[in-house]
């Protein structure tokens, strides 16, 4: 699940990015409207969190422009005040929900999850479960099964498995995995990826994830 955050205040932006990443989302963060407009179409986003107060255009205008361009990703607007006029402007601009500052992080996460779920239902395609061989993963409820048995994973194990499943059959580089799952806070020499691959293998089976010598790891595609 990939989320775009548009927020210019460093402190809040950092908290949102870290918090949503901890929750298992892949997060892209931009700090102004121009970059938001340029970035929105660059990836397959599942949701966006858009602040109203930005240094160039306001969030209402960003949302309206994206909608006019046909961008359908669900948008959660962060408004500074709990003013009815702000809520109406946001919804008129094409936002799907709004949250007033200050908000609890738990509520923000719940709203983002609800938006992603509703968007899937509206498209007539409830968010698809991923399946590779015997392993099944539900990105919204965050549950994983191996055959009929549910497997309980930590947040990072879950994110790593989702990444491997979405790219099954492809070799993923250690450095790329590290950045996508842990962000760039870890030194490149970190062996955390190897450690988590071991955890996944012990829970899902040793042959679930193959080592690709000199590169990283690959989740085997199921036999046709
Ligand atoms: Ca702001």
For residue range 47-64, what is the model confidence (pLDDT) as tens digits? Answer: 999 999 999 999 999 999
For residue range 64-114, what is the model confidence (pLDDT) as tens digits? Answer: 999 998 898 999 999 876 677 877 888 888 999 888 888 888 888 888 988
Say if residue 180's pLDDT is above 90.
Answer: no
Going from the Cα of 58 to the center of ligand 1, the distance in angstroms, rounded, reads: 9
Going from the Cα of 15 to the center of ligand 1, the distance in angstroms, rounded, reads: 13
Going from the Cα of 182 to the center of ligand 1, the distance in angstroms, rounded, reads: 25
Say if residue 130's pLDDT is above 60.
Answer: yes
Contacts within 8 Å (CB) and 24+ apart, 75-79:
75/47, 75/48, 75/49, 75/50, 75/115, 76/47, 76/48, 76/49, 76/50, 76/108, 76/111, 76/112, 76/115, 77/50, 77/51, 77/52, 78/7, 78/49, 78/50, 78/51, 78/52, 78/103, 79/52
Confidence of residue 35 (pLDDT cuts 50, 70, 90): very high
Going from the Cα of 12 to the center of ligand 1, the distance in angstroms, rounded, reads: 9
DSSP string, 118-182: HHHHHTT---PPEEETTEEEETTTTEEEETTEEE---HHHHHHHHHHHHTTTSEEEHHHHHHHHH
Confidence of residue 39 (pLDDT cuts 50, 70, 90): very high
Going from the Cα of 10 to the center of ligand 1, the distance in angstroms, rounded, reads: 9
Say if residue 184's pLDDT is above 70.
Answer: no
Residue 187 has a pLDDT of 63
Going from the Cα of 9 to the center of ligand 1, the distance in angstroms, rounded, reads: 5
Residue 110 has a pLDDT of 84
C-alpha pair distances (Å), 203 with each of 25, 154, 196, 211, 216: 22, 11, 11, 17, 19
Among 162, 46, 61, CA closest to 115 = 46
In terms of pLDDT, which residue wins out, 8 or 159?
Answer: 8
Residue 74 has a pLDDT of 94
* Measured distance CA(133)–CA(152) in Å, rounded: 18
Query: pTM of the entire structure?
Result: 0.65
For residue range 7-33, what is the model confidence (pLDDT) as tens digits? Answer: 999 999 999 998 898 888 889 999 999
For the segment 124-130, the average pLDDT, to the nearest whole number, is: 70
Cβ atoms of 112 and 100 closer than 8 Å? no
Going from the Cα of 119 to the center of ligand 1, the distance in angstroms, rounded, reads: 25
Going from the Cα of 71 to the center of ligand 1, the distance in angstroms, rounded, reads: 22
Say if residue 179's pLDDT is above 90.
Answer: no
Residue 142 has a pLDDT of 83
Going from the Cα of 6 to the center of ligand 1, the distance in angstroms, rounded, reads: 8
Going from the Cα of 42 to the center of ligand 1, the distance in angstroms, rounded, reads: 22
For the segment 158-178, the average pLDDT, to the nearest whole number, is: 87
Going from the Cα of 83 to the center of ligand 1, the distance in angstroms, rounded, reads: 16
Mean pLDDT, the chain, whole residue set:
87
């Amino acid at each position: 699940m990939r989320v775009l955050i548009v927020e210019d205040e460093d402190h809040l932006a950092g908290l949102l990015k870290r918090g949503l990443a901890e929750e298992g989302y892949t997060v892209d963060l931009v700090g102004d409207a121009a970059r938001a407009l340029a970035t929105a179409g660059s990836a397959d986003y599942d949701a966006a969190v858009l602040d109203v107060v930005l240094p160039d255009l306001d969030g209402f205008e960003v949302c309206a422009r994206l909608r006019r361009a046909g961008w359908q990703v669900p948008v959660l607007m962060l408004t500074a005040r709990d003013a009815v006029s702000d809520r109406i402007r946001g919804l008129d601009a094409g936002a799907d929900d709004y949250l007033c500052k200050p908000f609890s992080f738990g509520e923000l996460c719940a709203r983002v999850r609800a938006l992603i779920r509703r968007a899937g239902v509206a498209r007539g395609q409830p968010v698809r479960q991923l399946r590779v061989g015997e392993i099944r993963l539900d990105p919204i409820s965050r549950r994983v099964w191996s055959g009929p048995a549910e497997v309980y994973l930590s947040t990072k194990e879950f994110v790593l498995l989702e990444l491997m499943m979405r790219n099954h059959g492809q070799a993923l580089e250690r450095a790329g995995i590290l950045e996508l799952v842990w962000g760039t806070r870890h030194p490149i020499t970190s062996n955390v990826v190897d450690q988590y691959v071991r955890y996944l293998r012990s829970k899902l089976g040793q042959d679930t994830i193959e080592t690709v010598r000199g590169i990283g790891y690959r989740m085997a595609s199921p036999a046709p």
